[in-house]
Structures are given as structure tokens and as C-alpha cells.
Amino acid sequence: MSFDMMSLPDEFIRRLREAKHVVVLSGAGISAESGVPTFRDAQTGLWAKYDPQELATPEAFQRNPQLVWDWYTWRRNLISGVGPNHGHRALAQMERLVPRLTVITQNIDGLHQQAGSTDVIELHGNLSRTKCLNEDRIVEQWEETGERPPRCPHCGGYLRPDVVWFGEALPPLALHRAMAASRTADVFFTVGTSGIVYPAASLPMEAVEAGGMVVEVNPEDTPLTHWMTYTFRGPSGAVLPAIVSAAWSETF
């Protein structure tokens, strides 16, 4: 689905070209066109009967560590088979066209970094990293005995994915950096997020408070929509490349 570049207001393009600091808050929607189901998409296959919000919790892991470990293994394998899409790549390109671009992502798939974005704040962790449940530190190697979840080589406790579960605090440094970036954003994009989960969903308000132009890229309305200076209703894989072309076409 192509997106009509002509519907990009001149004022939007002007403020984007003049921006000293662009900030992007991304959610699962930016990875949808890579084939990664969004968090609130229906689950498929053997996981269809589970609600992700029931699995991504400390209580679920406590109750059934093997089930939660297996679900994340399934998601890791899903992600290992996909790559960044045009939306991720457009943001990596935009980073080279503006003085500073910070990506704040709720995604745990690492696709922004794979696309070439270099300033990425991972609010909810990263599925490629594993940590010890007890020691809360990253573990890179462990003995595969067939036990699931595997055990920490240091303390013998369970290993778990290095992602933020519902009810857990976000990594303090990541949240601090995300708030600071949002307060200095001349242009703040929210891309592919339902704007339901806090504190991530409060970041656009930080940009509004600081006088930034806030822009939503999403096929649907969200609770954030009414804060927006501009909303572009379409898939990020089409909208973001159209924005880069419209704003910097003379540079390529």
C-alpha cells in the first residue's frame, strides 16, 4: 500500500528539515511488516490459546517457567527468521539526514539496530539477551542439559529472557534517557504503538510539554492521537519512506 506523499503538509516538512533532535517512539506495529505479529495480534499455532499478557509476567514464570521459556524461544525463533522493513530502514536513513535522531523502542526484536539505527533506547529489553532470574545479570553461555529453562552457571538459578514483564520496572537508565530525549525533541514521532502501556505512552506528552511537534504514524487512531500535531494514517513501511523522500528528496 503506497502512501500519498502529497498529503504531507509543508509546515510538517519544514519543521522536520529544521529539527536539531528527532525522537521516535516505536512499538510492535513498526515490525508488523517484517512479519512479527504485534503484541495484541492474535497468537498463532500452539500459542493461539494463550494471551501474551498472561505469559509476559513474573507470576507466569513462577507458575510455569518451562511454558514461559518455551514461548520466548518460539518468539526468538520467529524473529531470527525476519529482517528490518522499509520503515526501520527509513529511520536509519533519517538518522543520517538530521543532526540527532534517538529511537526509543518498546520492541524486543533488535530490528532497529539491524537496520542501522545507532542511538536506540530499548525500554522493554531485548529478546536476544538472557539473564539470571536471581542475580539479574546477563548470562551469555550456559550448559545445555535439555532442562528448560536452563540454569545459571554461577548460582544454579533459572535463566530468563532479558525483557521487561508486565508489573516489572523498566530499566531505570533507559527510562531516564528516554524522558530526557523526549524533552529535547523538536519532532517526536510515535510509530506503530497502541499508546496503551505506560510509562512509554507518557513520552509524547513530554515532547508536547517541551514544545515539540508530535506526529503519529499508525493505520488506526490511538489514545495518543488527540495530542498529535499531525497524524499519518498508514503502514509505517510506506509512510516513513514517503516522509524521508518528501523532506530530503534533493539529497538522493
Catalytic residues: 124
Minimum distance, C-beta of residue 220 to ligand APR, in the bound complex (Å) = 4
Alpha carbons 204 and 109: distance in angstroms, whole number: 22
Interaction site with ligand APR (CB under 6 A): 27-30, 32-33, 38-40, 106, 124, 192-194, 196-197, 217-220, 222, 235-237
- Residue with smaller CB distance to ligand APR, 117 or 152: 117
H/E element holding 132?
Answer: strand 125-132
- Residue with smaller CB distance to ligand APR, 53 or 155: 53
Whole-number Cα distances in Å, 230 to 23, 121, 163, 226: 15, 24, 32, 9
Q: How far is CA 9 from the centre of its chain?
A: 26
| Residues 168, 160, 178, 223, CA torsion sign | negative
Helical H segments across the chain, by residue range: 10-18, 29-32, 52-55, 58-63, 65-80, 86-95, 111-115, 172-183, 203-209, 236-248
Grid coordinates representing 9?
Answer: 503538509
Strands 100-105 and 21-26: parallel
H/E element holding 122?
Answer: strand 120-122
Minimum distance, C-beta of residue 188 to ligand APR, in the bound complex (Å) = 16
Q: Which residues contact 75 (CB under 8 A, 6 or more apart)?
A: 127
- Residue with smaller CB distance to ligand APR, 29 or 212: 29
- Residue with smaller CB distance to ligand APR, 161 or 237: 237
- Residue with smaller CB distance to ligand APR, 32 or 213: 32
